[in-house]
Amino acid sequence: MLAAVSPQVIQAVFFGICVLTDLSSLLTRGSGNQEQERQLKKLISLRDWMLAVLAFPVGVVFVVAMFWIIYAYDREMIYPKLLDNFIPGWLNHGMHTTVLPFILIEMRTSHHQYPSRSSVLPAIRTFSIGYILWVVCWVHHVTGMWVYPFLEHIGPGARIIFFGFTTILMNFLYLLGEVLNNYIWDTERKPPSWQGT
């Protein structure tokens, strides 16, 4: 449960920025104020960077894929049955399933300009290594408990392979998100007129 905090915070912040971007776009449309336009462009760049670096790769890897793969293999390793007494099934799906469709809806309804690979891929690697060292390893060092309980059942070598695999998978998902975004917006290089961004 503790490990879910970081990815869920990322999703909450990302979708909060999406709402703020849309509201700012509506409020600045047609105002002619260049400073507001400049601030809006910065907000859009932040939104697009967060989607590319954090929301899509982290949301798909840690929140959806890893959770449900491990859950299907042995739910006690990631989400013990005891939690059903406190967290209803619909809320579990709200935390671990709906992230992917909401990100795909966001991609379809808002044009995103993906940042260059040369700037994004190092950021993804930095986040992955930081997440592994801080949220996973540091918490284990301090508390003696793994935030992902299945890590207790595998050896140190398997943990290193798992951490390396998730880092590679997040890089791959950045590329997949970029391809998907380009595919969705291939015929429309500009966002719809109702969006104003």
pLDDT above 50: residue 1: no
**Tokens representing residue 154 in the block:** 């595998």
pLDDT at 51: 92
- Cβ neighbors of 161 (< 8 A, separation 6 or more) are none
**Tokens representing residue 26 in the block:** 């509506």
Mean pLDDT, range 12-31, rounded to an integer: 89
Please state the domain count of the chain. Answer: 1
Q: What's the whole-number average pLDDT of the chain?
A: 84
- Is there a domain that residue 144 lies in? yes
pLDDT at 2: 42
Q: Quick: pLDDT tens for 43-63.
A: 999 999 999 988 998 888 878
- Short-list 145, 135, 150, CA closest to 75: 150
pLDDT at 189: 52
Residue 109's domain comprises 2-184
- Is there a domain that residue 27 lies in? yes
Rounded Cα–Cα distance for residues 46 and 55 (Å): 12
- Is there a domain that residue 131 lies in? yes
- Is there a domain that residue 54 lies in? yes
Half-sphere exposure of 144 (CA within 13 A, CB side): 0
Rounded Cα–Cα distance for residues 118 and 171 (Å): 12
Q: Quick: pLDDT tens for 150-176.
A: 888 889 999 999 889 888 988 898 999
Mean pLDDT, range 100-109, rounded to an integer: 91
- Is there a domain that residue 189 lies in? no
- Is there a domain that residue 190 lies in? no
pLDDT at 4: 46
Across 17-21, 137-141, 192-196, the highest mean pLDDT is recorded for 17-21
Mean pLDDT, range 92-102, rounded to an integer: 88
- Widest pairwise Cα distance in the chain: 61
Q: How confident is the model at residue 194 (pLDDT cuts 50, 70, 90)?
A: very low
pLDDT at 31: 74
The answer to whether residues 47 and 18 touch, using CB atoms and an 8 Å cutoff, is yes
Q: What is the 3-state secondary structure (H, E, C) of the chain?
A: CHHHHHHHHHHHHHHHHHHHHHHHHHHHCCCCCHHHHHHHHHHHHHHHHHHHHHHHHHHHHHHHHHHHHHHHHHHHHCCCHHHHHCCCHHHHHHHHCCHHHHHHHHHHHCCCCCCCHHHHHHHHHHHHHHHHHHHHHHHHHHHCCCCCHHHHHCCHHHHHHHHHHHHHHHHHHHHHHHHHHHHHCCCCCCCCCCCCC
- Is there a domain that residue 117 lies in? yes
Mean pLDDT, range 59-71, rounded to an integer: 85
- Is there a domain that residue 191 lies in? no
Q: How confident is the model at residue 66 (pLDDT cuts 50, 70, 90)?
A: confident
